[in-house]
Amino acid sequence: MKELIRLKVGTFDINNSITIEELEKNPKNQEYLDKKIISIEEVFSQKNKIVLNEEKIKLFLNGVKLTKKLEDGIYRIYDNNKKFIGIGLLQNNLLKRDIII
């Protein structure tokens, strides 16, 4: 095999991709960027969400594992104001931060 081109991974499809050169040509074109760039929140949109109060958000952001009795997996994390905070990983009833925005 000489080369391999991955056409699709999960919800990502090569037909929706852009090259580095295209991105470099449009660094300040917000409309273009909004159409082409997928947010982390959107990437994980199929995952369940957890809303944390202000106190728990502070602990979460400082790396403290929080107790949650939910199914193990990846969760989108939000504050009380519905602001996306990042991604958390729940294992054995312990929620830890994974990706923080």
Q: What is the pLDDT of residue 69?
A: 96
- Read off the pLDDT of each residue in 55-75 and give the average, rounded to a whole number: 95
- Read off the pLDDT of each residue in 12-16 and give the average, rounded to a whole number: 86
Q: What is the pLDDT of residue 43?
A: 87
Domain map (residue ranges) of the chain: 8-100
Q: Which residue has the higher pLDDT, 15 or 92?
A: 92
Residue 47 has pLDDT above 80, yes or no: yes
Q: What is the CATH number of domain 8-100?
A: 2.30.130.10
Helix, strand, coil share of the chain (percent; to 5): 30, 30, 40
Q: Which distant-in-sequence residues (6+ apart) come within 8 Å of 101 by Cβ?
A: 40, 41, 84, 85, 86
Q: Are 59 and 88 in contact (CB under 8 A)?
A: no
Tokens of 48: 């369940």
Considering the entire predicted model, what is its pTM? 0.76
- Which alpha helices (DSSP H) does the chain contain, by range? 20-25, 30-36, 40-43, 54-61
